[in-house]
Amino acid sequence: MALSIIRRAVRSRLRSGHRSLTTDPHRWDQPPAPRVFSGIQPTGIPHLGNLLGALQSWVSLQGEFSSVLYSIVDLHSITVPQEPESLRGSVLDMAACLLACGVDPDKSCLFQQSQVPEHAELGWVLSCVTSMPRLRHLPQWKMKSQNDGSVGLFIYPVLQAADILLYHSTHVPVGEDQVQHLELTQDLARIFNRRYGEFFPIPRALMSNAKKIRSLRDPSVKMSKSDPQPLATVRLTDAPEDIVLKFRKAVTDFTSEVTYDPETRAGVSNLVAIHSAVSGLTPKEVVRQSRGLDTAQYKLVVAEAVIAKLVPIREEIHRLRGDTGYLTEVLTRGTHRAREMAAPVYDTVCRMVGLR
């Protein structure tokens, strides 16, 4: 019902001429204003690495840019099997987590990707201007397919490009492991522009300066929501006693002194990086303050610092999760705003390609 109301409203605004197009459908009337887009999959509660590496940046970008869109990208999540009821709940869980971390629906457009059908529609158009060899080179396909991946898993980087280009986004916050996907987006924008006329801006990367947070059980890999080891990942909803246990069991080495040397002491250096990120201190300052502590004692210091950071977020997540009406209203309002931006872009794409 909500989606049908949104569709009627968007069609009405389009009929009334509410779009930023000139009489030439191949040109916009002015250069695109700076706009940020990013998305997150609703596949489990975000963890400490997500907070320190991406979500804190999302919050700060709301004050730096006048137009910011954050999407819960549920279409991406079904590239691997999901339980339908669990997925529906996970969308609301993710909305609660983002709001609790500081995403403000009055400063940014927070919405559910699947409720804006232009994402999938533009994804199809862009899939027709790329090649299979280009997609095979992307590392995620090589890592995740294991020779039996779905077609969706193979082409989801094209949908990711559509997510960004659909809003004429100019800036995309990315980590090191996402750079190649943004390069694909840039390539597809250039190919479309050469073939049909200048239309899409070439989005730029906003590289995060945050240190990559590693698994507590295997510091050679980054912290992950999908890690099968329950003690490896600190989630935003973990209880304080669980956080203490995870840090007590964190892998370090046989040297008791606290030092920061990621190359030779990955485990303890990961703890220092976490402590630095949650406290605002530099790694050097953290090490100086930790003189006289052995690694067993230092683990508890880091756990306390993480608990102080996460407890307010955890409490707010639980409060918001109890108000599903509010979460639904936030996403519906965001969907309405997203469709108002997406519809004229896709309408122009269709006209340029010859579909309308």
Q: Which residues carry out catalysis?
A: 144, 222, 225
* Count of CA atoms in the C-beta half-sphere (13 A) of 267: 19
Listed in sequence order, the residues at least 6 apart from 169 whose beta carbon sits closer than 8 Å to its beta carbon are 35, 36, 37, 69, 201, 203
Can you tell me the distance from the alpha carbon of 130 to that of 27, in angstroms, rounded to the nearest whole number?
23
Nearest C-alpha neighbor of 219 from the set 233, 198, 236: 233
- 118-127 vs 151-165: helix axis angle to the nearest 10? 110
Listed in sequence order, the residues at least 6 apart from 31 whose beta carbon sits closer than 8 Å to its beta carbon are 201
Can you tell me the distance from the alpha carbon of 334 to that of 72, in angstroms, rounded to the nearest whole number?
11
